[in-house]
Structure 1
Amino acid sequence: HPLLLVEEAWVLKASGKPTQAQARAREAIEAGGINQGRCGPTAVLVMAGLAMETNDCKLAGHLRQNFTPGSGSPLSSTPIERFLSGAEAAAKEDLRTAVQQIVSCGRLLERSGWRNSALMPWRCIAAELYWRLGEWDQAHHLIEEAYAPAVAWGAPAALGRVLRLRGTLRGGEEGLALLQESVQVLESSADRWELSKSHYALGRQLRSFPDSTAEEHVRYAHRLADQCGIRLPSERAGTGLGPRVPGRVAATAVLTATELRVARLAAQGRTNQEIAQDAGVTSRAVEKTLTKVYRKLSIQGRAGLIETLHPLAGGLG
C-alpha cells in the first residue's frame, strides 16, 4: 500500500538509513502515496527533510508540486509551503533562497504553537545553510537558540545533533566536550547515521589536540556509515560543518549554480552518469562541467573537490 511505503520511509529515516528511506519514498511516489489526498502535513515535512539530506531534487520537486495543505489543517499552508520551497531550493544549491524560506517557515510554525524540535529541526538545517554561505554569526545564533528546546524535548537524535553542531561551531576544548556529549547521547538513539557523524566530528576535533583515539572514532564512524548504507567518500561521514576556512567557501564563488551543484554531487561520490540522470543532461555534459570546475578551482580531480568544497561536500547534518 502506498501509505505503508511512506511510513517505511519515515521509520528508515529515523533509524539513520537515508538512502533506504529515499528508495522507499521514490516507491511511494510511483505508487501515488505522496500527494495531497493521501499524505498528511507531518509526513510531508519529514519527506522534505529527507529530500534535503539526500540532495534529491526529484523528491523535493514532487513534494513542492503535489502538496498543498487543506484549509482544515491545524497548520497554515504558508509555513509548510515555505519549507517545501526551501527544500527544493537547497536541493538545487540555491542556498540563499533555501535558508530564507526555512527560517521563515520555522518562525511561522512556532507562532502557531508547533515546537517539536525533533520532528522539525529547522534551526539545525538553517544553521548549516548559513555556515555553507559563510555566515558564521547567523549559524551560531540559531544553534544557540536550538539548544534549550532540544534539551527540553529530550529526544536523543535531536539533542545529539544540536550538541554536535554546537561543538563543531565552538571548537576548542569546549567544543570537544560538546562533541563527546553528543556521542554519549546518540548511543541511546536508533539513528546510527547521526551517531556516525558525531563520531567523525569528534575524531576530527581530537586530531587537533592531538589525541591517540582520534582515528578510532573516525574508523568507527566509517563502519557505522557503511551499516547505514552510505557509500560515499570519507568526508561524507562528517558533520556537514568543517573548520572555519572562509577561503574554501569563497573559492566556490567563481562557480555558477550549475557548476556548484555538479561539483557537490561529484564530491559526494556520484558517478557522471548518476549526476547526468539527476540533472537531465548527458554524461559528456557533466564531464565538461567538471573540467571547468577543476580549472576554476585549480584542483586535480575529485579528490581535490572533496578537500576544496568541504564543508559543502557534506549533507545537512
Structure 2
Amino acid sequence: LGAADALAGPGGPPAAHRALRQRLQARMYYLCENDPEMLASAADRLSPLDEPPGTATGDQRELLVALLHAATVSAGLPAARVGALAHRVLDHEPASAAHVHTMLPLLVPIAVAADSVTGLLPWLDKALVDAVRRGGRLEESVVLAEQALVLLAQGRLAAARERAVRAGAAVAPEEATTLSALALVAVALRAREPELVAAVPERFRGLHENCELAALLTLVRGMEAETRGEPGAAVEHYLDAGYALDRAGWRNPLVVPAAYWAARALHRTGESDRAEQLSEQYLEQARRWGAPSALGRALALRAVVGEQAAAPGLLREAAGVLETSTDLHLRASVLLRLAETVAPRHSAEAEAALRRCLELAVECGAGRIAGRAQELLGPAASGTAVRTPLTSAERLVARMAVQGLTNQAIADSLGVSRRAVEKHLTNCYRKMSTSGRSGLATALSEAGLLDTTDGPSDPAEAVRPQGAA
C-alpha cells in the first residue's frame, strides 16, 4: 500500500505510475483477501453511489477484478451488480492465454458465485486455443481449470470433472496452480467424489495457503466422514469450515457452502433445531447475495429440514427462482423433488415438473436424475431419450473415433488394448443412443461434447498421457 501511495506523487501521478499504482492496489486487495476490513473497503469502493474503476486499460480491469473478488467473497454487494461489472470487464478484455498472468483468472470464480457465467465459455475456448498454440502448459492448465468451474456452475458435472482432471494433469505437481486445485476440489464436492482430492498437491493442504481451498478441503473431510458413517465428525468438519471463513470475512453462501452441508448433516442425525437454525441462516445469506443458484439451493434446503407442510411452497419458490439460473443440474434436481412432493395431491403439476426435469437432466448429462424422472413419468415419458454421461475415457475415445482414427490407431496412441477401445466405443454407442461412428459424431455434437477447442487438432498430441510435461 505504501508503494502504491508513493507512486501518486504531487499533482497526480504520470500515466505509467498511475497504471502501476492500480496494479499494486489490485494485488494488495488480493493478498489481503482474509482481512475483513479490506474486504469491506472494496465493497464500499464499488458501492452504487460511487463510480467504479474504468475498464479501458489492463490495469483498470485488474483493479476492478480484485475489488469484485473482495466484494464477492464478503457478499458486500448484490450478485446482480457484481455479475454486471464482471461482464463489463469481459467485454473489454481480449481472449488470450496472456490473461493467466494477471488478476483476471479471478473473474471466473466471481461470475460463478454470481450465477452469471453466460458468455464465459466461448471466451475461454479462444484463450485455450491460444494457450495450446503457444505451447504453454501452465496457461493451458489455468484455462482448463477456469472452464471446469464454469461447467460446474452450469451443472455439467461430467464435463467439469474432465476439465478439472486435465487441468491438474497438464503440468507437473510442483507447477500446479491454486485455481486448478480449487477446480478439482469443487468438482469432488459437487460430484461427491472425494477420491479426486488425492490429486491435489500436498503444498495446497496448509491451513493458511488459501482460505477458500482450506475450507473446501475441510468440507471434503466432512463428506468422507459421512461416508464412513461418522456423522458427528462430519458436522464438526462442516462447522469448522464455516467458522474459519466467517473469521476471515468470507460470507458468500455459494463460494464455500459450509452452512448448507452442516444443516443437511444435522438433519440426518436428528438434530432438527440446529439444522433449521443453520438453514435459516443460509437462506438469509442467499437472499442478501441474490444469485439464483444460491437462493434456489437455500430454499430447497429449507424444504428438507423445515416443516414438511411448508415444503411444497418452498420448492415451488425454488423452482421459480432457478428458472434464471445457468445451473441445469440444480434446476433438474429441485424439479424432481418438487414433483415427488406434490404428486399425491397435484398430479398435473408433478407431471409438468417431471417433463421439464427430464429435459434439463438430459441436457446436462445427469443420468440418475433423468432416469428417476423417466421412471416416475412412466408411459408419459415415451419417446424421450435419456443419455448417460460419458466417462472422460469414453469421451476421448469417441472424439478420436469421429476424427477418423481406426480402433488400432486409437489403442496405439493411448497405450491400451484394441479390445479396451472397442469396449469404450460400445459403451458410447449405448449411452448416446446411436449406432456406428457417423451417428456418434452427430450425437456428440448435439450433446455439446464434440468440442474442438479442448486441445490441438493433431490426434497424436491430443492424446498425450496425463501428467506429461
TM-score by length of 2: 0.45
1:147/1:162 contact within 8 Å kept = yes
Identity of aligned residues (%): 29
Which residue number corresponds to residue 128 of structure 1?
A: 264
**Quick one: distance in 2 between partners of 1:125 and 1:36?**
31
Which residue number corresponds to residue 149 of structure 2?
A: 10
**Quick one: distance in 2 between partners of 1:233 and 1:99?**
27
1:36/1:67 contact within 8 Å kept = no
Which residue number corresponds to residue 238 of structure 2?
A: 102
Which residue number corresponds to residue 48 of structure 1?
A: 185
**Quick one: distance in 2 between partners of 1:99 and 1:133?**
10
Question: How far apart are 1:230 and its partner, in Å?
Answer: 1.5
2:177 is aligned, of 39, 55, 58, to 39
1:168-215 superposed Cα distances (whole Å, 9 cap, x missing partner): 333545221111111111111111111111111111111233442212
Figure out how many residues of one structure are paired with residues of the other and give that number: 239
Matched, 1:112 2:251: no
Residues 228 and 96 of structure 1: is their aligned pair in 2 closer, same or farther, counting only changes over 3 Å? farther
Q: How does 1:175-214 map to 2 (within 5 A)?
A: 175-214=311-350
2:361/2:370 contact within 8 Å kept = no
Partner SS, residue 222 of structure 2: helix
Residues 191 and 77 of structure 1: is their aligned pair in 2 closer, same or farther, counting only changes over 3 Å? closer
1:48/1:87 contact within 8 Å kept = no
Which residue number corresponds to residue 61 of structure 1?
A: 198
1:216 maps to amino acid: A
Residues 99 and 46 of structure 1: is their aligned pair in 2 closer, same or farther, counting only changes over 3 Å? farther
Residues 83 and 169 of structure 1: is their aligned pair in 2 closer, same or farther, counting only changes over 3 Å? closer
**Quick one: distance in 1 between partners of 2:346 and 2:250?**
43
Partner SS, residue 118 of structure 1: coil
Structure 2 gaps of 5+ residues are: 1-139, 374-387, 390-469
Residues 86 and 174 of structure 1: is their aligned pair in 2 closer, same or farther, counting only changes over 3 Å? closer
Structure 1 gaps of 5+ residues are: 238-267, 270-317
Residues 120 and 128 of structure 1: is their aligned pair in 2 closer, same or farther, counting only changes over 3 Å? same
Residues 10 and 80 of structure 1: is their aligned pair in 2 closer, same or farther, counting only changes over 3 Å? closer
1:50-69 superposed Cα distances (whole Å, 9 cap, x missing partner): 21221223312233745235
Partner SS, residue 195 of structure 2: helix
Question: How far apart are 1:10 and its partner, in Å?
Answer: 0.4
TM-score by length of 1: 0.64
1:86/1:100 contact within 8 Å kept = yes
2:205/2:214 contact within 8 Å kept = no
**Quick one: distance in 2 between partners of 1:172 and 1:101?**
28
1:267-287 superposed Cα distances (whole Å, 9 cap, x missing partner): x99xxxxxxxxxxxxxxxxxx
**Quick one: distance in 2 between partners of 1:102 and 1:64?**
22
1:121/1:158 contact within 8 Å kept = no
Residues 121 and 221 of structure 1: is their aligned pair in 2 closer, same or farther, counting only changes over 3 Å? same
2:300 maps to amino acid: R
1:51/1:87 contact within 8 Å kept = no
**Quick one: distance in 2 between partners of 1:143 and 1:9?**
28
1:166/1:175 contact within 8 Å kept = yes
**Quick one: distance in 2 between partners of 1:13 and 1:82?**
20
Partner SS, residue 190 of structure 1: coil
Question: How far apart are 1:130 and its partner, in Å?
Answer: 2.8
Could you say which structure has the larger radius of gyration? Answer: 2
Question: How far apart are 1:157 and its partner, in Å?
Answer: 0.4
Root mean square deviation of aligned Cα: 3.4
